[in-house]
Structure formats: C-alpha cells, structure tokens
C-alpha cells in the first residue's frame, strides 16, 4: 500500500491521474488485456492516464478541520 501511495503521489505531481481499484478483475477481456494468467491472484489495479479536466482544488479553512486544545 505504501509503494502504491508513493506512485500515486509521484504521478499526481506530474499531472497524471491514477485510480486505484481493489479486487480481482473478473472480466475475461480485462484479464486478457493485462496478460493475467488464469492462476494469478490479483489484489488490485491502477488505472493511469491524463485527466480530461483538472478539478479545482478546494481547501477548507484550517479552523474547520482543526481542533486546538
């Protein structure tokens, strides 16, 4: 998980979008496309590409997300 997180952060820093999906791709065409052998146990997949749009970054005020004691 840590390695995937670092890959996600690195991709984001250069404008590449990544979606992380857990679970096994059960569709035969997906398994064929990625070259998965029938006995492979897939725990997740990363979908990587350039986003069509860049969403506007929304940052909440610090007082809305922090409690000082």
Average pLDDT over the chain, rounded to whole? 86
Residue 10 CA from chain centroid, whole number = 11
Reported as a single tens digit per residue, the pLDDT across 5-38 is: 999 999 999 999 998 888 766 677 877 888 888 8
Q: Provide DSSP, 5-50.
A: HHHHHHHHHTT-EEEEEES----HHHHHHTT--TT----EEEEEE-
User: How wide is the angle at C-alpha 1 spanned by C-alphas 4 and 11, nearest 5°?
Assistant: 15
Q: Give the tokens for residue 65.
A: 């997300």
């Amino acid at each position: 998980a840590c390695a995937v997180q670092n890959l996600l952060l690195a991709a984001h820093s250069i404008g590449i979008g990544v979606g992380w999906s857990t679970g096994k791709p059960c569709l035969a065409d997906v398994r064929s496309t990625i070259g998965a052998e029938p006995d492979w146990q897939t725990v997740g997949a990363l979908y990587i590409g350039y986003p069509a749009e860049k969403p506007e970054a929304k940052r909440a005020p610090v007082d809305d997300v922090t409690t000082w004691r």
